[in-house]
Amino acid sequence: MILKPYLAFAKKSFLKRSAYRFNHLMSIFNTCLQVFIFWGIYKALYGGKAEVDGISMAMVTTNFILSMGLSAVFYVDDYFLPQKIWDGSIANELLRPVSFKGRMIAENLGNAGFNFIFHFIPALIICVWVLGMNLPASPLMFGLFFLSAVLGYGVLWTISFAVQMTAFWIVNIWSVTTIKTVFINVLSGSMIPIWFMPEWMSGVLKFTPFTSIYFTPVQIYLGQLSFREILFQCTVQIAWIVLIYLLGNLLWIKGQRKLVVQGG
């Protein structure tokens, strides 16, 4: 079975995360704290108003809970490849009879599965119990929300994949990963809902990969998009996954040719 070794890698990463129980509790606390802080800031900005420019406080709350909850699920290890280049173990990894890229995504999916069960669901229950949030527009929209969320994870993973490939040329990719994280946090709608950005900026962001990660699934959940718009946005998500993966794969091919391992 072709997928068997990758399922084993996913299972291994899932079980590995279960070893640190205190860390799980702190992750849940961290997610809830972020939601509460941003909710408090926007609650003050609303000044007791029910809505601003047609955007209700309940919609903002829902955006924060879903976006930051999904960010806890969408675990990507930006240093998976760089670490192996630094310590020289990449040479052994490339000799394994399995795809290194397949192993990367398998281990990330194992971590994402763990985060969904033990981080997202507990944090969601706590946030909804304390703050409340809008229900999905319909059962169908709820299903499409999950589909778009999966595609959003694909966009995030391919961005991380492409960034990691720069480790073949850059000794320390900390600065690159930091820039990537800032762009995602600010432009994905998780910290600042796209509704409140200037119209020209929100129009441009629709054609970038950033809004595809969190904001598109949230819009679908709230029923803000028609079926035609959902199809378009999901197509945009798929297009970004393909384009960014092709870029990362090109860097992967060129990087292997450049790779020189000393020691290890």
SS3 of 11-78: the string is HHHHHHHCCCHHHHHHHHHHHHHHHHHHHHHHHHHHCCCCEECCEEHHHHHHHHHHHHHHHHHCCCCC
- Give the residue from 21, 35, 16, 129 showing the smallest Cα distance to 75: 16
- Give the residue from 181, 173, 157, 166 showing the smallest Cα distance to 105: 157
21 falls within a domain: yes
Q: Express each pLDDT in 57-96 by its tens digit.
A: 999 999 999 999 999 899 788 999 999 988 888 888 888 8
264 falls within a domain: no
Query: What's the CA gap between 67 and 149, in Å, rounded?
Result: 10
> Across-strand partners of 55?
52
What is the per-residue pLDDT for 264? 47
pLDDT grade, residue 262 (50/70/90)?
A: low
**Taking a C-beta distance cutoff of 8 angstroms, is the pair 132, 125 a contact?**
no
What is the per-residue pLDDT for 184? 93
Q: Express each pLDDT in 125-157 by its tens digit.
A: 999 999 999 999 999 999 999 999 999 999 999
> Does the pLDDT value for residue 1 go beyond 70?
no
Average pLDDT score, the chain:
90
What is the per-residue pLDDT for 141? 96
- Region 247-251 average pLDDT: 96
- Give the residue from 19, 29, 132 showing the smallest Cα distance to 72: 29
**Taking a C-beta distance cutoff of 8 angstroms, is the pair 58, 132 a contact?**
yes
pLDDT grade, residue 42 (50/70/90)?
A: very high
Contacts for 143 with CB less than 8 Å, ≥ 6 apart: none
Query: What's the CA gap between 180 and 159, in Å, rounded?
Result: 8
100 falls within a domain: yes
252 falls within a domain: yes
Which pTM value belongs to this model?
Answer: 0.92
263 falls within a domain: no
Domain limits at 37? 4-258
What is the per-residue pLDDT for 199? 87
171 falls within a domain: yes
- Region 179-200 average pLDDT: 90
pLDDT grade, residue 190 (50/70/90)?
A: confident
> Across-strand partners of 56?
51
Domain count, the chain: 1
